[in-house]
A and B are shown apart, each in its own frame.
Chain A
Amino acid sequence: MTTNKNEKFNAVTQLEEGACTVFLSGEMDLSVAPDFRLVMEPLVGDAGQDLIVNMKDLKYIDSTGIGILLSILKARHGMNASFTVEEVPPQIQKLFEMTGIAKFFAPQENSH
Protein backbone atom coordinates (compact mmCIF):
# COMPACT_ATOMS: atom_id res chain seq x y z
CA MET A 1 0.00 0.00 0.00
CA THR A 2 1.42 3.37 -0.96
CA THR A 3 -0.21 6.11 1.06
CA ASN A 4 2.34 8.72 0.20
CA LYS A 5 4.89 8.31 -2.53
CA ASN A 6 7.35 10.78 -1.06
CA GLU A 7 7.61 8.92 2.23
CA LYS A 8 8.20 5.51 0.69
CA PHE A 9 11.35 3.88 2.00
CA ASN A 10 14.25 3.42 -0.38
CA ALA A 11 17.90 2.43 -0.02
CA VAL A 12 20.51 3.10 -2.70
CA THR A 13 23.98 1.61 -2.39
CA GLN A 14 27.02 3.42 -3.72
CA LEU A 15 30.38 1.69 -3.91
CA GLU A 16 33.65 3.57 -3.92
CA GLU A 17 37.18 2.45 -3.32
CA GLY A 18 37.34 1.09 0.22
CA ALA A 19 33.90 2.40 1.21
CA CYS A 20 30.29 1.54 0.74
CA THR A 21 27.63 4.17 1.36
CA VAL A 22 23.92 3.35 1.66
CA PHE A 23 21.62 6.34 1.07
CA LEU A 24 18.30 5.98 2.89
CA SER A 25 15.16 7.94 2.06
CA GLY A 26 11.52 7.96 3.19
CA GLU A 27 10.20 6.29 6.33
CA MET A 28 12.13 3.44 7.93
CA ASP A 29 9.52 1.58 9.96
CA LEU A 30 8.42 -1.94 10.84
CA SER A 31 6.86 -2.54 7.41
CA VAL A 32 10.15 -2.00 5.55
CA ALA A 33 12.51 -3.51 8.14
CA PRO A 34 12.89 -6.73 6.08
CA ASP A 35 13.84 -4.64 3.00
CA PHE A 36 16.46 -2.72 4.97
CA ARG A 37 17.92 -5.94 6.41
CA LEU A 38 18.08 -7.41 2.93
CA VAL A 39 20.04 -4.42 1.59
CA MET A 40 22.46 -4.35 4.52
CA GLU A 41 23.09 -8.08 5.01
CA PRO A 42 25.62 -8.63 2.20
CA LEU A 43 27.44 -5.37 3.05
CA VAL A 44 27.84 -5.96 6.79
CA GLY A 45 30.07 -9.01 6.34
CA ASP A 46 32.63 -7.23 4.19
CA ALA A 47 35.24 -6.15 6.75
CA GLY A 48 37.53 -4.75 4.04
CA GLN A 49 35.24 -1.81 3.34
CA ASP A 50 34.03 1.06 5.51
CA LEU A 51 30.27 0.93 5.82
CA ILE A 52 28.42 4.24 5.91
CA VAL A 53 24.69 4.98 6.08
CA ASN A 54 23.65 8.40 4.78
CA MET A 55 20.41 9.64 6.37
CA LYS A 56 20.03 13.00 4.66
CA ASP A 57 16.66 12.09 3.09
CA LEU A 58 15.42 9.79 5.85
CA LYS A 59 12.15 11.21 7.19
CA TYR A 60 11.45 8.84 10.03
CA ILE A 61 12.89 5.92 11.96
CA ASP A 62 11.32 3.74 14.65
CA SER A 63 12.77 1.38 17.24
CA THR A 64 12.81 -1.41 14.65
CA GLY A 65 15.18 0.64 12.46
CA ILE A 66 17.30 1.60 15.46
CA GLY A 67 17.42 -2.10 16.40
CA ILE A 68 18.75 -3.00 12.96
CA LEU A 69 21.44 -0.29 13.17
CA LEU A 70 22.38 -1.66 16.57
CA SER A 71 22.73 -5.22 15.27
CA ILE A 72 24.94 -3.91 12.44
CA LEU A 73 27.05 -2.00 14.98
CA LYS A 74 27.50 -5.19 17.00
CA ALA A 75 28.42 -7.27 13.97
CA ARG A 76 30.90 -4.70 12.62
CA HIS A 77 32.40 -4.14 16.08
CA GLY A 78 32.98 -7.90 16.35
CA MET A 79 34.85 -7.83 13.03
CA ASN A 80 36.84 -4.73 13.91
CA ALA A 81 35.25 -3.00 10.93
CA SER A 82 33.82 0.50 10.85
CA PHE A 83 30.16 1.47 10.67
CA THR A 84 29.15 5.12 10.66
CA VAL A 85 26.13 7.29 9.95
CA GLU A 86 26.27 10.67 8.24
CA GLU A 87 23.98 13.66 7.65
CA VAL A 88 21.57 12.56 10.37
CA PRO A 89 18.50 14.85 10.51
CA PRO A 90 17.97 16.56 13.92
CA GLN A 91 14.75 14.67 14.72
CA ILE A 92 16.49 11.34 14.16
CA GLN A 93 19.64 12.41 16.01
CA LYS A 94 17.36 13.23 18.97
CA LEU A 95 16.08 9.63 18.98
CA PHE A 96 19.65 8.32 18.71
CA GLU A 97 20.59 10.37 21.76
CA MET A 98 17.49 9.42 23.76
CA THR A 99 17.98 5.70 23.19
CA GLY A 100 21.73 5.88 23.73
CA ILE A 101 22.77 4.51 20.34
CA ALA A 102 24.41 7.88 19.53
CA LYS A 103 27.50 7.10 21.62
CA PHE A 104 28.25 4.06 19.47
CA PHE A 105 28.26 6.27 16.38
CA ALA A 106 30.56 8.85 17.97
CA PRO A 107 34.05 9.06 16.43
CA GLN A 108 36.13 6.37 18.12
CA GLU A 109 39.39 7.18 19.79
CA ASN A 110 42.19 4.77 18.92
CA SER A 111 42.35 3.37 22.43
CA HIS A 112 44.33 0.27 21.53
Chain B
Amino acid sequence: MKADTQKVILNLPATAEFVDVVRLNLYGIASKMGFSYEDIEDMKVAVSEACNNSVLYAYGQNDGHIDVTFEIGEETLSITVEDEGESFETVKGGGEESTLHDKDLNDVQIGGLGFYLMQALMDDVSIENVAGQGTRVVMSKSLALSEERV
Protein backbone atom coordinates (compact mmCIF):
# COMPACT_ATOMS: atom_id res chain seq x y z
CA MET B 1 0.00 0.00 0.00
CA LYS B 2 1.32 3.42 -0.96
CA ALA B 3 2.06 5.98 1.70
CA ASP B 4 0.02 8.65 -0.09
CA THR B 5 -3.23 6.72 0.03
CA GLN B 6 -6.29 8.95 0.24
CA LYS B 7 -9.23 8.03 2.41
CA VAL B 8 -12.97 8.55 2.32
CA ILE B 9 -14.79 7.50 5.48
CA LEU B 10 -18.52 6.96 5.89
CA ASN B 11 -20.25 6.41 9.20
CA LEU B 12 -23.78 5.12 8.67
CA PRO B 13 -26.68 3.77 10.70
CA ALA B 14 -26.60 -0.04 10.53
CA THR B 15 -29.91 -0.29 8.68
CA ALA B 16 -30.79 -1.73 5.28
CA GLU B 17 -31.96 1.70 4.03
CA PHE B 18 -28.39 3.05 3.99
CA VAL B 19 -26.62 0.28 2.09
CA ASP B 20 -27.48 2.00 -1.20
CA VAL B 21 -25.65 5.10 0.05
CA VAL B 22 -22.51 2.98 0.33
CA ARG B 23 -23.04 1.79 -3.26
CA LEU B 24 -23.46 5.35 -4.54
CA ASN B 25 -20.23 6.44 -2.85
CA LEU B 26 -18.41 3.38 -4.14
CA TYR B 27 -19.60 4.16 -7.65
CA GLY B 28 -18.29 7.73 -7.41
CA ILE B 29 -14.89 6.73 -6.07
CA ALA B 30 -14.33 3.70 -8.32
CA SER B 31 -15.31 5.52 -11.51
CA LYS B 32 -12.99 8.41 -10.57
CA MET B 33 -10.18 5.85 -10.28
CA GLY B 34 -10.94 4.45 -13.73
CA PHE B 35 -12.45 1.07 -12.91
CA SER B 36 -14.55 -0.54 -15.64
CA TYR B 37 -18.35 -0.75 -15.42
CA GLU B 38 -18.12 -4.48 -14.78
CA ASP B 39 -15.58 -4.11 -11.97
CA ILE B 40 -17.67 -1.43 -10.33
CA GLU B 41 -20.74 -3.69 -10.47
CA ASP B 42 -18.69 -6.51 -8.89
CA MET B 43 -17.48 -4.24 -6.10
CA LYS B 44 -21.02 -2.93 -5.49
CA VAL B 45 -22.23 -6.47 -4.79
CA ALA B 46 -19.23 -7.39 -2.61
CA VAL B 47 -19.40 -4.24 -0.47
CA SER B 48 -23.18 -4.48 -0.09
CA GLU B 49 -22.84 -8.08 1.12
CA ALA B 50 -20.39 -6.99 3.83
CA CYS B 51 -22.78 -4.20 4.88
CA ASN B 52 -25.75 -6.60 4.82
CA ASN B 53 -23.96 -8.86 7.29
CA SER B 54 -23.40 -5.97 9.69
CA VAL B 55 -27.01 -4.80 9.29
CA LEU B 56 -28.42 -8.29 9.86
CA TYR B 57 -26.19 -9.76 12.52
CA ALA B 58 -24.17 -7.12 14.35
CA TYR B 59 -26.60 -5.35 16.61
CA GLY B 60 -29.70 -7.54 16.91
CA GLN B 61 -32.65 -5.29 17.70
CA ASN B 62 -30.43 -2.43 18.91
CA ASP B 63 -29.29 0.60 16.94
CA GLY B 64 -25.73 0.57 15.74
CA HIS B 65 -23.50 1.97 13.08
CA ILE B 66 -21.22 0.81 10.30
CA ASP B 67 -17.95 2.44 9.31
CA VAL B 68 -16.99 2.13 5.66
CA THR B 69 -13.50 3.31 4.71
CA PHE B 70 -12.42 3.64 1.09
CA GLU B 71 -8.64 3.75 0.70
CA ILE B 72 -7.74 5.07 -2.69
CA GLY B 73 -4.29 3.98 -3.85
CA GLU B 74 -2.77 4.55 -7.25
CA GLU B 75 -3.68 1.09 -8.51
CA THR B 76 -5.84 -0.38 -5.77
CA LEU B 77 -9.10 0.43 -4.06
CA SER B 78 -9.33 -1.04 -0.60
CA ILE B 79 -12.64 -1.00 1.26
CA THR B 80 -13.09 -1.72 4.96
CA VAL B 81 -16.51 -2.39 6.47
CA GLU B 82 -16.56 -2.40 10.27
CA ASP B 83 -19.16 -2.76 12.95
CA GLU B 84 -18.94 -2.98 16.73
CA GLY B 85 -21.62 -5.56 17.29
CA GLU B 86 -21.81 -9.26 17.93
CA SER B 87 -19.74 -11.14 15.39
CA PHE B 88 -21.38 -13.26 12.78
CA GLU B 89 -19.89 -16.68 12.27
CA THR B 90 -16.71 -16.75 10.27
CA VAL B 91 -16.97 -18.50 6.98
CA LYS B 92 -15.20 -21.84 7.11
CA GLY B 93 -12.30 -22.38 4.78
CA GLY B 94 -12.34 -20.56 1.47
CA GLY B 95 -16.09 -20.30 1.26
CA GLU B 96 -16.18 -22.43 -1.88
CA GLU B 97 -18.57 -24.84 -0.22
CA SER B 98 -21.23 -22.15 -0.06
CA THR B 99 -22.24 -22.30 -3.71
CA LEU B 100 -25.11 -24.29 -5.15
CA HIS B 101 -23.13 -25.91 -7.96
CA ASP B 102 -22.99 -29.41 -6.55
CA LYS B 103 -26.34 -29.34 -4.89
CA ASP B 104 -29.79 -30.59 -5.68
CA LEU B 105 -32.63 -28.13 -5.17
CA ASN B 106 -33.91 -30.26 -2.27
CA ASP B 107 -30.58 -29.96 -0.43
CA VAL B 108 -30.12 -26.26 -0.97
CA GLN B 109 -29.95 -24.05 2.10
CA ILE B 110 -30.74 -20.38 1.79
CA GLY B 111 -27.93 -18.18 3.05
CA GLY B 112 -24.16 -18.19 2.96
CA LEU B 113 -24.05 -16.88 -0.60
CA GLY B 114 -23.02 -13.40 0.54
CA PHE B 115 -19.63 -14.57 1.78
CA TYR B 116 -19.01 -16.52 -1.35
CA LEU B 117 -19.85 -13.52 -3.54
CA MET B 118 -17.48 -11.22 -1.63
CA GLN B 119 -14.62 -13.62 -2.13
CA ALA B 120 -15.43 -14.37 -5.75
CA LEU B 121 -15.89 -10.76 -6.84
CA MET B 122 -12.89 -9.08 -5.18
CA ASP B 123 -9.16 -9.72 -5.62
CA ASP B 124 -8.63 -10.05 -1.89
CA VAL B 125 -10.92 -10.35 1.13
CA SER B 126 -10.12 -10.78 4.80
CA ILE B 127 -12.65 -11.12 7.60
CA GLU B 128 -11.71 -10.59 11.23
CA ASN B 129 -14.12 -10.88 14.08
CA VAL B 130 -13.43 -10.55 17.75
CA ALA B 131 -16.18 -11.80 20.06
CA GLY B 132 -18.08 -8.86 21.50
CA GLN B 133 -15.99 -6.28 19.63
CA GLY B 134 -17.36 -6.51 16.15
CA THR B 135 -16.47 -7.57 12.66
CA ARG B 136 -14.08 -6.03 10.19
CA VAL B 137 -14.11 -6.98 6.51
CA VAL B 138 -11.27 -5.68 4.35
CA MET B 139 -11.51 -6.16 0.60
CA SER B 140 -9.57 -4.82 -2.31
CA LYS B 141 -9.52 -4.70 -6.08
CA SER B 142 -6.68 -3.59 -8.27
CA LEU B 143 -6.93 -1.72 -11.56
CA ALA B 144 -3.93 -3.57 -12.99
CA LEU B 145 -5.35 -7.01 -12.22
CA SER B 146 -8.66 -6.06 -13.77
CA GLU B 147 -6.98 -5.06 -17.03
CA GLU B 148 -5.00 -8.30 -17.21
CA ARG B 149 -8.13 -10.37 -16.92
CA VAL B 150 -9.78 -8.75 -19.92
Contacts and interface: CB of A to CB of B under 8 A. Distances in A.
Interface string B29-58: 000000000100100110011001001100
Main secondary structure of the interface of B (DSSP, over half): helix
Contact of A63 (B19, B106, B114): B114
Interface residues of B, number: 34
Interface in A56-112: 60, 62-64, 66-67, 70-71, 73-74, 77, 91, 95, 98-101, 103-104
Given A30-B56, A60-B44, A74-B105, A99 B99 contact: yes
A7 B24 CA distance: 11
A66 B113 contact: yes
Interface of A: 1, 3-4, 7, 27, 29-31, 33, 60, 62-64, 66-67, 70-71, 73-74, 77, 91, 95, 98-101, 103-104
